[in-house]
């Protein structure tokens, strides 16, 4: 079967975002995310990576340029339940069981009860948390909470998954496990995914491409295709070809970061 | 907390209490104070035993007034907190009057309440409610408004309505704040009920603790008065304990310790 030319899923042209306080978070950002692509977004802290995700989710308005998701305004794509967001924190509601947390998006969309139950069952099974369906979030480890958060995001079977440094607070081993989990889920359903991260290794492991943003105001300064074959797993991180690509990405990231007065003498 | 550790925690204050009783008894006999001025602990105990029926009945009546006031506070305060959380305009224009409820001297307003609503339980409940509603309003409003911004975004991703936000996020999320407010209000409600009974507790066949305190002090039955004061203190502790226990049970359920299988 020949694949059709991948259509753009997110298309940002000359995107600018200015906050109420006058801070320019993004400026002149051009980025196309193709359908089915897993894209990693990396950049110096405060460069507006998270802001870009929020604009793509329709949670924050753009102040200049245009952005479309599946050819329509971000809020409209979101309203079709076609976009899901995974936050930095697990953001589970402590008074709800895991199952009740995972079915929340469908409950808010007033989906039929039976659909809510079966979809939440399936999503929990997908991340290996079926036996904890009735457990409260307080009974879970950090990694399990994040898994549940992933399950909740996938419960509506979204076309686009936006991830905002979702595993940043976890220890390294748990983080690698969750990266594998995300890769497995993505290989299975091939949704479009845009993952913001501050880890070069994570960006290279996940991304078909790694997009490097400049310091504030953020714009795209490098678009690096990652030639590593798929399926990829976190075990790859130790390999020499991985290290070479990571070094390349790191060099771009360093160039993008605003100069730090403490390393002035170093010039290459 | 286990029973043993609870006993260990209760031991030091209990010892202090016994030591104070001893000192009190010693001081009375050493200084030869007349009983109508300062009765000895033994006399207070004797008087309490002699009037145990009246004291219990008075405590029950006062408890009824305090619980009624606390219940009214929870309902009215909860509704006001919801209103404040939903409308900035309402919060800004009405909050000063909520503060007024806290700053108004309750002993000055209680006679007015009696003028309007007559003597009896309804005026006692109203006094207790006025004194105890403010912590519910402030704590409740804080809990309803202070929500993790990421959770607001989570609900925004599902285009949740205002009502869904209120019912599925703000109200359940504010439970710890309402419990904290209710703990403060529980003690205030007892004080409010007793003050209410000073003014509204007469005319009935049964006297509440407030009315009993006034009556015994008027008749210089000082030992009986002491017994009534101790009963009032005990009642306050009991009510606080009850509210704290119910709050803890609710919070435990909230945190999912005893979550039912969904």
State how far residue A78 is from chain B, nearest Cα, in angstroms: 7
- CB within 8 Å: A85 and B172: no
> Is B257 in CB contact (< 8 Å) with chain A?
yes
Confidence check: pLDDT of B179 > 70: yes
Between CA A190 and CA A35 the distance in angstroms is 9
> Is B150 in CB contact (< 8 Å) with chain A?
yes
- Within 156-185 of B, beta carbons closer than 8 Å to A belong to 156-160, 164, 168-169, 172-173, 175
- CB within 8 Å: B262 and A139: no
Confidence check: pLDDT of A4 > 90: no
Chain B residues near residue A134 by CB distance under 8 angstroms:
259-262
Kindly indicate the confidence band of residue A244, based on its pLDDT and cuts at 50, 70 and 90: very high
Kindly indicate the confidence band of residue B260, based on its pLDDT and cuts at 50, 70 and 90: very low
**3-class DSSP state for residue A176?**
helix
Mean of pLDDT values over B129-142: 95
Confidence check: pLDDT of A267 > 80: no
Question: Across all residues in chain B, what is the average pLDDT?
Answer: 90
Query: Which of B154, B249, B16 has its CA nearest to residue A59?
Result: B154
| DSSP category for residue A268 | -
- CB within 8 Å: B157 and A99: no
Minimal Cα distance from A96: which residue of B?
B256
- B214: CB partners within 8 A, 6+ apart: B198, B201
At residue A261, the pLDDT reads: 59
Kindly indicate the confidence band of residue B259, based on its pLDDT and cuts at 50, 70 and 90: very low
Chain B residues near residue A133 by CB distance under 8 angstroms:
262
Judge contact between A194 and A24, C-beta under 8 A. Answer: no
> Is A59 in CB contact (< 8 Å) with chain B?
yes
Q: Using one digit for the tens of pLDDT, what is the confidence trace for A133-166? A: 999 999 899 999 999 999 999 999 999 999 999 9
State how far residue A89 is from chain B, nearest Cα, in angstroms: 8
Chain B residues near residue A100 by CB distance under 8 angstroms:
262
> Is A79 in CB contact (< 8 Å) with chain B?
yes
At residue B204, the pLDDT reads: 59
Q: Using one digit for the tens of pLDDT, what is the confidence trace for B180-229? A: 999 999 999 999 999 999 988 765 567 899 999 999 999 999 999 999 99
Q: ipTM score of the complex?
A: 0.90
Between CA B202 and CA B204 the distance in angstroms is 5
At residue A263, the pLDDT reads: 55
Mean of pLDDT values over A94-112: 95
pTM given for the model: 0.85
Judge contact between B181 and B226, C-beta under 8 A. Answer: no
- CB within 8 Å: B157 and A135: no
Mutate to test the interface with A, among B149, B154, B257 (most CBs of A within 10 A): B154
Question: Across all residues in chain A, what is the average pLDDT?
Answer: 90
- Please report the number of interchain residue pairs, chain A to chain B, with beta-carbon separation below 8 angstroms: 76
Confidence check: pLDDT of B123 > 90: yes
Chain A residues near residue B160 by CB distance under 8 angstroms:
108
- Look at phi and psi of residue B189 and say left if phi exceeds 0, alpha if psi is from -120 to 50, else beta: alpha
At residue B102, the pLDDT reads: 81
Consecutive H or E run containing A78: helix A74-79
For every residue of chain B, DSSP letters joined together read --HHHHHHHHHHHHHHHHHHHHHHHHHHHHHT--TTTS--HHHHHHHHHHTHHHHHHHHHHHHHHHHHHHHHHHHHHHHHHHHHHH-HHHHHHHHHHHHHHHHS-HHHHHHHHHHHH-SSHHHHHHHHHHHHHHHHHHHHHHHHH---HHHHHHHHHTT--HHHHIIIIIHHHTHHHHHHHHHHHHHHHHHHHHHHHHHHS-SSSS--HHHHHHHHHHTT-HHHHHHHHHHHHHHHHHHHHHHHHHHHHHHHHHTTTTPPP-
Q: In whole angstroms, how far apart are CA A213 and each of A10, A43, A164, B217?
A: 16, 5, 15, 80
- CB within 8 Å: A93 and B255: no
- CB within 8 Å: B157 and A57: yes
Q: In whole angstroms, how far apart are CA B181 and each of A259, B189, B190, B234?
A: 51, 12, 15, 21
At residue A21, the pLDDT reads: 85
Q: In whole angstroms, how far apart are CA B7 and each of A80, B14, B19, B234, B240?
A: 59, 10, 18, 18, 19
| DSSP category for residue A57 | T
Higher pLDDT, A1 or B36: B36
At residue B262, the pLDDT reads: 37
Judge contact between A102 and A151, C-beta under 8 A. Answer: yes
Mean of pLDDT values over A191-199: 94
- A165: CB partners within 8 A, 6+ apart: A50, A88, A196, A197, A198
Minimal Cα distance from A134: which residue of B?
B261
Judge contact between A97 and A133, C-beta under 8 A. Answer: yes
At residue A111, the pLDDT reads: 94
Confidence check: pLDDT of A237 > 80: yes
- CB within 8 Å: B160 and A84: no
Chain A residues near residue B261 by CB distance under 8 angstroms:
97, 134
How many other β-carbons are positioned within 10 Å of the β-carbon of residue A254? 13
């Amino acid at each position: 079967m020949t694949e059709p030319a991948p259509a753009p899923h997110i298309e940002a042209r000359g995107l600018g975002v200015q906050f109420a306080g006058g801070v320019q978070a993004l400026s002149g950002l051009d980025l196309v995310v193709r359908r089915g692509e897993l894209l990693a977004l990396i950049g110096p802290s405060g460069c507006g990576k998270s802001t870009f995700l929020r604009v793509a989710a329709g949670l924050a308005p753009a102040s200049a340029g245009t952005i479309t998701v599946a050819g329509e305004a971000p809020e409209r794509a979101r309203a079709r339940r076609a976009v899901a967001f995974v936050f930095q924190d697990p953001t589970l509601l402590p008074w709800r069981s895991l199952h009740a947390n995972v079915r929340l998006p469908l409950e808010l969309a007033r989906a039929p009860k039976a659909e809510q139950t079966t979809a939440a069952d399936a999503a929990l099974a997908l991340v290996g948390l079926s036996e904890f369906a009735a457990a409260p979030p307080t009974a879970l480890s950090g990694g399990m909470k994040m898994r549940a958060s992933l399950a909740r995001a996938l419960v509506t079977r979204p076309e686009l998954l936006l991830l905002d440094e979702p595993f940043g607070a976890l220890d390294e081993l748990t983080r690698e496990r969750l990266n594998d989990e995300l890769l497995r889920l993505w290989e299975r359903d091939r949704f479009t995914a845009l993952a913001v991260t501050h880890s070069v290794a994570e960006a290279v492991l996940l991304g078909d491409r790694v997009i490097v943003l400049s310091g504030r105001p953020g714009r795209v300064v490098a678009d690096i295709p990652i030639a590593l074959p798929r399926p990829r797993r976190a075990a790859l991180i130790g390999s020499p070809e991985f290290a070479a690509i990571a070094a390349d990405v790191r060099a771009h990231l360093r160039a993008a970061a605003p100069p730090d007065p403490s390393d002035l003498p170093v010039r290459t | 907390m286990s029973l043993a550790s609870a006993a260990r925690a209760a031991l030091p204050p209990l010892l202090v209490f016994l030591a104070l009783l001893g000192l009190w008894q010693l001081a009375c006999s050493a200084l030869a104070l007349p009983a109508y001025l300062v009765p000895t602990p033994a006399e207070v105990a004797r008087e309490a035993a002699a009037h145990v029926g009246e004291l219990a009945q008075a405590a029950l009546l006062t408890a009824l007034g305090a619980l009624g006031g606390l219940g009214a506070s929870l309902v009215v305060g909860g509704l006001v907190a919801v209103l404040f959380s939903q409308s900035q305009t309402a919060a800004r224009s009405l909050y000063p009057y909520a503060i007024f409820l806290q700053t108004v001297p309750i002993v000055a307003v209680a006679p007015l309440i009696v003028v309007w609503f007559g003597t009896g339980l309804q005026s006692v409940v109203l006094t207790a409610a006025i004194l105890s509603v403010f912590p519910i309003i402030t704590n409740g409003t804080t809990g309803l408004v202070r929500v993790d911004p990421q959770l607001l975004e989570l609900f925004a991703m599902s285009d949740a309505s205002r009502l869904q936000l209120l019912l599925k996020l703000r109200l359940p999320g504010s439970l710890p704040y309402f419990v904290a407010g209710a703990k403060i209000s529980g003690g205030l409600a007892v004080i409010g009920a007793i003050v209410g009974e000073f003014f509204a507790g007469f005319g009935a066949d049964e006297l509440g603790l407030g009315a009993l305190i006034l009556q015994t002090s008027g008749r210089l039955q000082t030992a009986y008065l002491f017994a009534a004061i101790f009963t009032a203190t005990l009642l306050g502790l009991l009510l606080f304990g009850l509210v704290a226990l119910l709050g803890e049970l609710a919070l435990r359920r909230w945190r999912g310790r005893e979550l039912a299988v969904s």
